[in-house]
Amino acid sequence: MITILEQHTTNLIKHLRIIGLTVNTTKTQAIPFNTKDEITLTIDGTEIGTKPTAKFLALTLTFDKHSTYREYIQNLSNEASKNISPVKPQLRRSILPTCTSFSGYHGEVEEIVKLECVGHVQKRVGTRCRRLKQGRKLEDGKGIAGTGRLTDKMIDTLQNYYGFAIHQNAGNLPGMIKAVKAILGHLSSTDQDPNHEFCDASWCGFLKDPNTYRHKNALPKCIIKLLEPIFNDLTSESLLQKCLHGKTQNNNECLNKLIWDRCSKEYFVERKTVEEAVYSAVAHFNDGPSSILKVLNKLGVSPGYYTGQKCTAKDVQRIKKSACRSTEVAKKQEKQKSYKERFPG
């Protein structure tokens, strides 16, 4: 059991401790107190007596033992919010807009493990490589970009290889680190100077047949020298440890969009409205637009002919669009569009 305590307006109160309160729930629950209830107020550890709690709000959260309640993939857009402790993102969403601010918590809980989305980590390779291309000359007097150097195609290759290294070694940290280290060595190897010590024979042509394999389009050493700090950062054990699950948060983002389409984050609404939006979004996410037909049948309402036809047509259209977007041509066009939006001109 964790008790989350919310401070109202005063800056003197450092800690609040609830007396005689027991709540048994597996969900976040807001508990407004009556004036009859009392809490103990302390300032810097010194108890100063009991006060009525009409102005205070407490939140109580019980963590289930299942790992999904203790692990999460952080999805925070505000840069400042990334510095808060791991437990706060789970709780911040439940704080009601009553002029309260997060004060702290007491109690015991297993450490919450923050996981990384593999897709977002993979994109860091492309982002950092493209920053290198902007108006920089190398020691040989040439630019970074150009034929045989750090082209957009080569950046996409580096990014994809990094993603493959993570996905193909999910659950295997040493193998993942070795696979990431193999990327630069493999791409910089020449017939005169092969560098395949970290490569794996399952995909490396040189290790499969060293006698007949010929290296082509190797990256120059000056380019490799610039890329090494990037890959050293992205090969850190602490980062790859969070990617061992080998998964992305794309499904979560899709579900979040469905929820906020039904219940905008721009305006405050009561809990019941949010719950109904979540129920509707989950049904749509799992079964598509036709999920509303099942809901109506459960309620004893017979949907009309045109309602059923429209929902079925939307399901068919959604499946066709998904199949189209999964083709290699569509993925390539999406990458080009994304690149032009991030780097116009």
Q: Which of 42-56, 153-167, 209-223, 311-325 has the lowest mean pLDDT?
A: 42-56
For residues 81-86, average pLDDT: 36
4 burial (CB, 10 Å; 0-12 / 13-18 / 19+) is buried
- Amino acid letter, residue 33: F
Strands 113-115 and 71-73, bridge-based pairing: parallel
> Any residues with CB less than 8 A from the CB of 339 and at least 6 apart, and which?
152
Model pTM score: 0.53
CA separation for the pair 180, 198 (Å, rounded)? 9
The pLDDT of residue 14 is above 70: no
> Within a 13 Å sphere around the CA of 67, how many CA atoms are in the beta-carbon half?
5
pLDDT of 175 higher than 80: yes
**pLDDT at position 201:** 85
In this prediction, residue 19 has a pLDDT band, given cuts at 50, 70 and 90, of: very low
| Across 204-233, average pLDDT | 86
3-class SS at 272?
helix
Average pLDDT over residues 268-292: 89
Position 135 scores a pLDDT of 62
| Cα dihedral 70→71→76→82 (10° resolution) | 80
The model's confidence at residue 141, banded by pLDDT at 50, 70 and 90, is low
CA distance linking residue 21 with residue 95, whole number of Å: 19
| Over residues 216-227, mean pLDDT | 84
Residues 162/227, Cβ–Cβ less than 8 Å: no
| Res 162: pLDDT | 92
Q: Are 98 and 223 in contact (CB under 8 A)?
A: no
Q: Which CA distances in Å does 137 have to 130, 140, 311, 318, 341?
A: 14, 8, 57, 48, 25
Q: Is 204 exposed, middle or buried (0-12, 13-18, 19+ CB in 10 A)?
A: middle
